[in-house]
Chains A and B, each alone.
Chain A
Amino acid sequence: MEATLKNGVSSDDVRAIAEAAGEPEWLATWRHDAWDVWEQTPLPDRVKHLWRYTDPEKFLIDKVTPVLPAAAGEAEDELPAGMQESPAGVGIVDDASLQTSWLAPEWREAGVVITDLATAASTHEELVREHLGRAVGPGAGKFEALNAALFPGGVLVYVPCGVAVQGPIHLFRRHGIDLSAAFPRLLVVIDEGAEATIIDEYSNPGDPRVVANAVVEGTVLPNGHLNYFNIQRWGSRTRSHARQRFLLQRDASASTVNIALGGQYNKTDIANIQQGENAQSEMIGVTFGAGTQHFDTHTEHVHEASNSFSDMDFKVVLEDEARSAYTGLIRIELDAANCEAYQENRNLMLDPTCSAHSIPELEILNEDVRCTHGATVGPIDPDQVYYLKTRGLPEREAEKLIVEGFFGPALDRIEDEGLRDRLWGLIDDKIAD
């Protein structure tokens, strides 16, 4: 048995977290079941290629402690100060709990919900019971089970039938406690014909030592549409394991953008599952690694239903001694006819000391398909630098322009101008470092 794994927590901690969260009995039971899965599941096998480049032991929590949830703050009437954009809603999670949440009156009245999962487990019991763990359940993997057992507050975003939310719902998830474990968890439900844009931003004020284990899951019901942005700005002393998975039902669509800039040692697993006919998915990834950062990213587009479509564009820039391992899978199931799937992975290496691995995979079980993928790895084209220098740009400036041009097609797909400018700002800051 692998049950005696190194970690500082026990099932007592699961009970303590469930009590502190003030959640109903059914959710506490769910956590305990998840804890059993965590205990019974061995560490991922490094022979399996998804863990070939990353050591799972780095995400064990024997040297850090989980944080107990505090009571969630009341919903605010006013837009919290300091917001640069004009959002439709805001949720701020400090350390463990949803401290601040706000929704523009229009959307509050329309029935849109931003709340913590412990509360929602009572107030929206049916909804949470149906969708919690549906896309990423405790059985999804060892670390996913740990998140299910120990997540402190969690966030639910629910958009009711036919409501098209204008403007982004912006979630800030900040974790600033040194030597702690962070378990961000987000559940998104976009009901039939509804639409929403969610910006989900992670950071570590004060650069503490943290092991983060995040789960983002959701379902987009028929005809629904979700725009989801994940902005990973963890500090330089954070290890991050993240799992993100959305289920797309009939005629639903999702566009996800994952921007990874922070963290020291990162493993991220992103998937959109086309469960219903005509489901459409677009997935964009932007990773910028510097110093000795490690990024291991897996993307998955699984087509379970006919006439579904997916497009994936994953861009990586590396400098110094940064490492990236990208694995991406397109899988077309036996019953999914007439699907189209595209996948592209491009890696730009700025220094001789970085390394990039790329494994774009296809598994096609239905003949009626159109599917392509491409991957490239290379340095900055010296001809391009030369050309820009002849135009009077200093070398560093020329490099910056080329990196911008490289990320451009991915970031240009972001419609919100304020957000796009802020993201460019973050990337430019990193180039300038």
Chain B
Amino acid sequence: MSSRSDDLDINDEYKYGFHDPEVAVYKAEKGLTEEVVRKMSEMKGEPDWMLEFRLQALATFRAKPMPKWGSTELLNSINFDEIYYYLKPTEEQGQTWDDVPEYIKNTFEKLGIPEAERKFLAGVSAQYESEVVYHSLQKEIEAQGVIFLDMDAGLREHEEIVRKYFASVIPAEDNKFSALNSAVWSGGSFVYVPPGVEVTMPLQAYFRINAENMGQFERTLIIADEGSRVHYIEGCTAPTYVRDSLHSAVVEIIAMPGAQLRYTTIQNWSKNVYNLVTKRANAYENAVVEWVDGNLGSKLTMKYPCVNLLGEGAHGEILSVAFANEGQHQDAGAKIHHVAPRTTSRITSKSISKAGGRSSYRGMIKVEPGAVGAKVHVECDALLMGESSRSDTYPTMEIAEEQVQVEHEARVSKVGDEQLFYLMSRGLTEEEALVMVVNGFIEPFVKELPMEYAVELNRLIQLEMEGSVG
């Protein structure tokens, strides 16, 4: 394929015919207008209620001010008019292999990513687009009655379920970015696991951004019915390249009584992405919801997975790792809302700030009156490396019930000289010793990952640590 990008100026008037409706290839214009939302909804053939929902959300998005906390400087630098809000699969690509930065290519090389996969991770391949094109649904899962579709197909084929649960956990007005997602969502996954069904293989979905300035607004809804079990994996450890871009997803989870659901995310967007994500789960009687959340990439991530413990005996767990290297701000955290009696939760957060990177833990524990016997344990560890790296811890605990046990602990330190000395006395170089300490530091996280992810993550940490000595 010749390099199309040479003569493809995307600021131009799309003279390459992307508007042709007969071949169903459509590229929305930059910027967010009611017209864009209507067109998008029409192209998708959505029911009226969804269009209404989108338009309402758009009004909410416009009315809501930008958050006044977190990295306000970076947030305010987002230009919402420079973003494409909807893109259909198309063979035309906005970038070529030559556009991909060296550091990304090197990482592919060192991680041993296959050629074809490299191209799609770099946003060059035509295979992956704004909508979820790729699904690998095992035959036996289908036979169990499990639904695993992209969200658009979910809406078409299971409108009743979607209508019942969509935005029931995260209403559009929850925050500015959930409103934005609600207005322009596209793609994401729709998962339904019937009562008592145990899905043994993790369900995986790859979401990619791969057109320049192409916002990704995926929307995921997972319903684990009574007594079912499922593990869902989003993202991957290899870096995912895009030019300046906004990723603003909404993930809603409903864990019915007795269900067990784990949601694993490894986020490694290239270091120019704004990753502003709202993730929340409702857990009913004796349900267990676990968020396993790794944040390695992006310029700015603001993400606080949440569990609402609504039924007696429900358990929420959030395990997260953030790695902020040069020029990155990982503002990640966790929220647990204890509403029902005898609910329990545990948050473990590990963060590493290196070479001027900044990582922040921002957490919220809320215990409502009547949530007797609630137990909460929060642990935050931060490792600081290199001058002008920064680590923040902002935990909030609002406790309106007496019969509870709430514990919070945090530690911040650099890599111990004794640790390095010991390892180096065993013949390791300083860099090897550092890598080993860091890998040990995030071990509680890595051991919860499927094997191939864990291996890749360890290798990636090694790469991120390169040049950290001397």
Contact = CB atoms under 8 A, between A and B. Distances in A.
Contacts, number: 117
Interface of B: 68-69, 353, 369, 382, 384-414
Interface string A336-370: 00000000000101111111111111111111111
Contacts of B408: 358, 360, 373-376
A412 B128 CA distance: 66
A360 B402 contact: no
Nearest to A376: B407
Contacts of A351: 402
A379 B404 contact: yes
Given A367-B387, A369-B384, A375-B408, A352 B401 contact: yes
Given A347-B399, A377-B397, A360 B410 contact: yes
Interface residues of A, number: 37
B413 A371 contact: yes
Nearest to B415: A367
A375 B347 CA distance: 14
A371 B412 contact: yes
Nearest to A352: B402
A49 interface: yes
B410 A358 contact: no
A376 B393 CA distance: 16
Interface string A163-206: 00000000000000000000000000000000000000000000
B431 to A, nearest CB: 17
Contact of A334 (B388, B396, B404, B411): B388
A47 interface: yes
B360 to A, nearest CB: 9
Nearest to A48: B68
A82 interface: no
15 contacts: A45-B68, A48-B69, A49-B396, A355-B399, A360-B393, A360-B410, A362-B391, A362-B393, A364-B391, A364-B392, A367-B384, A367-B387, A367-B389, A373-B393, A379-B403
Contact of A375 (B387, B397, B405): B397
Nearest to B394: A361
Given A368-B414, A374-B407, 10 more contacts: A334-B388, A349-B399, A352-B403, A357-B399, A358-B395, A359-B397, A364-B392, A369-B414, A372-B412, A375-B408
A357 B395 CA distance: 10
A378 interface: yes
Contact of A360 (B384, B386, B395): B395
A389 B403 CA distance: 20
Interface in A301-356: 334, 347, 349-356
Interface of A: 45, 47-49, 334, 347, 349-379
A353 B369 CA distance: 8
B396 A359 contact: yes
A406 to B, nearest CB: 15
B355 to A, nearest CB: 10
Contacts of A358: 395-397, 399, 406, 408
Contacts of B386: 367
B390 A365 contact: yes
Contact of B393 (A334, A352, A361): A361
A384 B224 CA distance: 42
B34 to A, nearest CB: 29
Nearest to B410: A373
A133 B166 CA distance: 56
Given A371-B411, A372-B409, A364 B382 contact: yes
Contact of A374 (B69, B369, B384, B410): B410
B75 to A, nearest CB: 14
Residue with the greatest number of chain B CB neighbours at <10 A, chosen from A49, A351, A374: A374
A357 B409 contact: no
Contacts of B353: 367
